[in-house]
Amino acid sequence: MKQFQVPVFYRSSLISAIKSKRKAADKLKKDFSPTLLDLGSLKIYLARHFGFCYGVENAIEIAYRCVDENPGKRIFLLSEMIHNPQVNENLQSHGIRFLQDSFGKTLIPFEALTADDVVIIPAFGTTVAIEEKLSSMGISPHRYNTTCPFVEKVWNRGEQLAAKGYSLIIHGKPKHEETRATFSRAAQHAPSVIVNDMAEAVVLGEFITGQQPATLFKEVFAGKYSQGFEVEKHLRYMGVINQTTQLATDTQAIADYLKKLVESHFGETDAEGKKRFADTRDTLCYATNDNQTAVREMLQTQADLAIVVGGYNSSNTSHLVELCEYYLPTYYIKGPESIDADSIVHFDWRNKQELTTASWLPTGQPLSILLTSGASCPDALVEEVMEKLIGLVPQAAALSSVEAQFS
């Protein structure tokens, strides 16, 4: 796999060594067990896979190259390049400004741009309409396009399904940048509708079977369907594609549910032998799959608590938290500044609020902690969290005491 030029301050020499050793010993990625850092009174279990994925490293490399190649020019990002506050703040410190927030709200009007300006497309991609708008202003949307290749893979798969006459069901958060971009591409080629979760998939199923009248569809799925969508016509043949950072098991469950329902209601194939439901298993992102599988395996380990590090608006990070919190106390934090001996500042992803919890650190020893991070979180931040934990646990050994194991 390609090696990217990512600024060294995002790296951790220890974590890089751990990942390299695990990769060398497990080239086929069959071992998802965590890595134990035995620090005496503190035991940290690192997930097998975590941190920057291929798409994030690709985006960071392009963004910093853009800065280097355009001295003196105004440089803009359509929105946050990835969902990590430290990375976005560092880009802003290099003079890059955001045109929109993560929900598409205007921060700097497009009318303020000129043909001499540079615009970077974020890793989530963007809509066809925005690309066309930039092009009409003389600004290339392709020169510094950091769209994740695995997001583009979903777009391409959607286009292939559309060519075969399938409508597209997009499993994603409707307001998320990636979902908006994917919906824009899908709607160009096929009747498309967004479902946020299984509950919405069930409601969609009720329209398929006629349990809900077609006249209510536009009200129930307002803002989530393509122009000209007709329930009776466009829900007979379908395939599911997804926002790549969703829970892979959720996407598959939605696809399995709709497949069974469509085939039961209309028949597995039509009179010409065409399948009612297209196989779309290949749109699931490898990094999302690996990180989630690694967390599931890590959860087989007895521990006192779990810590997940990442930006609060990171979809893939919130799903790692979701997996962990079913089994043990879990804290979703921004970084080392979130924790001290008396309290921890963490995020409630369900209710979208930051909380402070006192007396969070168990006093028994040895203390065992599961640790992972989202795909947009720098490894350096994870190492800083480990260093902070060591300082909070009496008699915990230094990280340097385990470095030799991974050299």
The answer as to whether 366 is a domain residue is yes
Choosing from 283, 317, 351, the residue where a domain stops is 283
Q: Are residues 21 and 79 in the same domain?
A: no
Mean pLDDT for 365-394 is: 96
The answer as to whether 205 is a domain residue is yes
Q: What is the rounded distance in angstroms from the CA atom of residue 138 to the CA atom of residue 149? A: 25
Choosing from 102, 136, 170, the residue where a domain stops is 136
Q: How many domains does the chain have?
A: 3
Task: Name the pTM for this structure.
Answer: 0.89
Q: Could you tell me the CATH number of the domain that includes residue 221?
A: 3.40.1010.20
| Model pLDDT for residues 114-144, shown as the tens digit of each residue | 999 999 999 999 999 999 999 999 999 999 9
Q: Are residues 182 and 277 in the same domain?
A: yes
Residues spanned by the domain of 199: 149-283
Mean pLDDT for 187-209 is: 97
The answer as to whether 3 is a domain residue is no
Q: Are residues 177 and 257 in the same domain?
A: yes
Q: Are residues 380 and 261 in the same domain?
A: no
Q: Are residues 315 and 193 in the same domain?
A: no
The answer as to whether 188 is a domain residue is yes
Q: Are residues 322 and 343 in the same domain?
A: yes
Q: Which residue has the tokens 């194939």?
A: 269
The answer as to whether 83 is a domain residue is yes
pLDDT at residue number 1:
62
Q: Which residue has the tokens 């990636």?
A: 178
Contacts of 260 (CB under 8 A, 6+ apart): none
The answer as to whether 2 is a domain residue is no
Q: Are residues 216 and 296 in the same domain?
A: no
pLDDT band at 173 (very low <50, low <70, confident <90, very high): very high
Q: Are residues 224 and 303 in the same domain?
A: no
Q: Are residues 126 and 174 in the same domain?
A: no
The answer as to whether 71 is a domain residue is yes
pLDDT band at 102 (very low <50, low <70, confident <90, very high): confident
Q: Are residues 181 and 254 in the same domain?
A: yes
pLDDT band at 2 (very low <50, low <70, confident <90, very high): confident
| Model pLDDT for residues 345-358, shown as the tens digit of each residue | 999 999 999 999 99
Lowest mean pLDDT among 31-35, 242-246, 398-402: 242-246
Residue 286 has pLDDT above 90, yes or no: no
pLDDT band at 246 (very low <50, low <70, confident <90, very high): confident
Q: Are residues 49 and 63 in the same domain?
A: no
Q: Are residues 399 and 389 in the same domain?
A: yes
Choosing from 115, 136, 157, the residue where a domain stops is 136
pLDDT band at 85 (very low <50, low <70, confident <90, very high): confident
The answer as to whether 143 is a domain residue is no
Catalytic residue set: 178
Residue 62 has pLDDT above 90, yes or no: yes
| Model pLDDT for residues 308-331, shown as the tens digit of each residue | 999 998 989 999 999 999 999 999
Residue 289 has pLDDT above 90, yes or no: no
pLDDT at residue number 202:
97
pLDDT band at 282 (very low <50, low <70, confident <90, very high): low
pLDDT at residue number 407:
83
pLDDT band at 280 (very low <50, low <70, confident <90, very high): confident
Q: Could you tell me the CATH number of the domain that includes residue 123?
A: 3.40.50.11270
Could you tell me the two tokens for 23? Answer: 């990769």
